Amino acid sequence: MLPVPLLAQEMSARGLVKAKSRAVLASEIGAVVSQTPFRAGDPFQKGDMLIGFDCRLLKSQKDKVAAQEKAAKAQLANAIDLEKMRSIGKLEVTLAKAENDKARAELNIASLNVERCQIKAPYDGMVVQLLVNQYESIDLRRNLIEIVSSSELEVEVIAPANWLTKVNKGQKAQMQIDELNRSAAVEIIAISGAVDPVSQTVLIRGRIIEKPDGLLPGMSGAFKP
């Protein structure tokens, strides 16, 4: 058997699988949690409700503001008709229009608050951890749930600086995933523009183009271009 060339032996470094998108979602309102349909490890799709709140008060406020906006709109229409008959002046019409604009703006705010009664998934993914319980009263900006994208996974590799002369953007590579004992096909998408002066290493990022079943963020393995 022929000996393995020295270059092939050297061209290996540890790689870490990372999700392109990972986030901790927080509350934009203070309310009582009414629904937590997903738990840690559960998959979800874009648009699914991740957290639901009891928003009966906000919905009632929206109904009230909607009625006020309807009245302001009718008053503006009446003022325009009266101006045409020279029964009122332009000032009254201007004031009626301002009240209508104010009521419409308040309705928009009330509608936005009602939309915040549900936190929906921004992409397909999986729950990392649920940080709140059903029936719990939460405050504004409280962290609620941590999620990670399941559709786009990347690899980060801390490689020796001498790889800069041997690898290129767009080059194909393989990564042997330790936890699965299987390999994943990777395409190099970015190479850091600076070398760490202490460790003499460079960061390389790759996009996983052939994902083996069961691959999760946090897994690691040997990266070989």
For the segment(s) 6-20+152-224, the CATH number from 2.40.30.170, 3.20.20.80, 3.40.50.300, 3.40.50.880 is 2.40.30.170
**Fold observed for domain 57-115:** Helix Hairpins (1.10.287)
Q: What is the pLDDT of residues 62-116, one digit of tens each?
A: 999 999 999 999 999 998 888 888 888 889 889 989 999 999 999 999 999 999 9
Q: What is the pLDDT of residues 163-207, one digit of tens each?
A: 998 899 999 999 999 999 999 999 999 999 899 999 999 999 999
CA distances from 193 to 73, 203, 214 (A): 59, 9, 33
End-to-end CA distance of the chain: 23
Domain 22-55+117-149 has CATH 1.10.3720.10: no
Beta bridge partners, 148, equal 22, 126
pLDDT at 20 over 90: no
pLDDT at site 10: 56
Domains of the chain by residue range: 6-20+152-224, 22-55+117-149, 57-115
